Amino acid sequence: MAVMPEEEDSSSYFVREIEKTDGSVLKMYQCSKGDVGCVVWDAAIVLSKYLETEQFSHSQAGPSAWSCKRMVELGAGTGVVGIMAASLGANVTVTDLEDLQPLLELNIRKNQDLISTGSVTAKVLKWGDDVADFLPHPDYILMADCIYYEQSVEPLVETLKLLSGPETCIFCCYEERTVGVNPEVERRFFELLLQDFESEEIPAEKQDPEFNSPDIHMLCLRRRPS
C-alpha cells in the first residue's frame, strides 16, 4: 500500500511542527492511517535536535562544515532527521521502503524553503539490499527508531556494514522498550553490531537540553579497525 496523503484532504494527514533553534519551523506531514513510518517518533526528534547543538557541530561537523558532509538516513519514515540535517547545510539522502517514498517526497517539498545550501533526496533502500547507489561511503549515517522487529535485525546490520567506511560515523538513536520482544530484538541487534563496530553513548548533558529522555539512547558508532 502506497502512503500518499492527498494534500487537499486534511483528514489524510496531520502536521507536526518542529521549531528549530533559529526560530524557523519544520512542518512534518504524518499520515492518519498507515504503518509505523507514517509518523514522527520521539527518537527522531531527539536526534534532529541533537544535530542542531553546538556539541554536534563542533565535535563532528566542525563549525560551518556542514556543506561538505554527505549523510544517508536509514528507515527515515517522514524524513524529519534528514530534512533537519539538510536545512543545516548537509547533502542528505533519506531512505526507506518503496511505500514511504511519497510521504518523504511530500515532506521534502513542504520544507524546501528551509533548505538553501544543503540538499535532500528520497530513495528506496531496503535493508540488506545492494547499496551501490549510496556509495562512496557517506560521512554520516543517521537512524532513529529502527531497532524494533526481529526479521530486520540481520539485514539492518548488514546494511550498516556495507554502507559505512572507516571514516563514517553512525548516529543511532533509539527508544529502549521493555515489553514484548523488544528487549530481545535490541540484545540481538547489539550482539551482531558490536562484532564490527565500536559504540560510544552520547550522554544527556551533551544532547539538546529540552529534547532528551532517559529511555532514548543516542550512540555514535564507528567501524572497528580491521
CB of 42 to ligand SAM, least distance (A): 8
Residue 97 burial (10 A CB sphere; 0-12, 13-18, 19+): middle
CB-nearer residue toward ligand SAM: 27 or 65: 27
CB of 163 to ligand SAM, least distance (A): 12
CB-nearer residue toward ligand SAM: 77 or 118: 77
CB-nearer residue toward ligand SAM: 114 or 142: 142
CB-nearer residue toward ligand SAM: 56 or 127: 127
CB-nearer residue toward ligand SAM: 32 or 116: 32
CB of 173 to ligand SAM, least distance (A): 8
Output the CA torsion sign for 20, 25, 29, 32: positive
CB-nearer residue toward ligand SAM: 65 or 188: 188
Q: Is 23 left (phi over 0), alpha (psi -120 to 50) or beta?
A: left
Distance CA 156, CA 48 (A): 21
Can you give the binding site for ligand SAM, defined by CB under 6 A? 36-37, 40-41, 43-44, 75-78, 96-97, 100, 126-127, 144-146, 148, 152, 155
Q: 226: which 3 cell numbers?
A: 580491521
Q: Tally Cβ neighbours within 10 Å of residue 66.
A: 21
CB of 3 to ligand SAM, least distance (A): 9
**Where would I find the H helices in 20-128?**
42-51, 54-56, 80-87, 101-110
Q: Tell me which residue has cell 544543503.
A: 118
CB of 81 to ligand SAM, least distance (A): 6
Residue 124 and residue 104 in contact, taking contact as beta carbons nearer than 8 Å: no
Element (H, E) at 168: none
Residue 14 and residue 111 in contact, taking contact as beta carbons nearer than 8 Å: no
CB of 144 to ligand SAM, least distance (A): 4
Residue least distant from ligand SAM (Cβ): 37
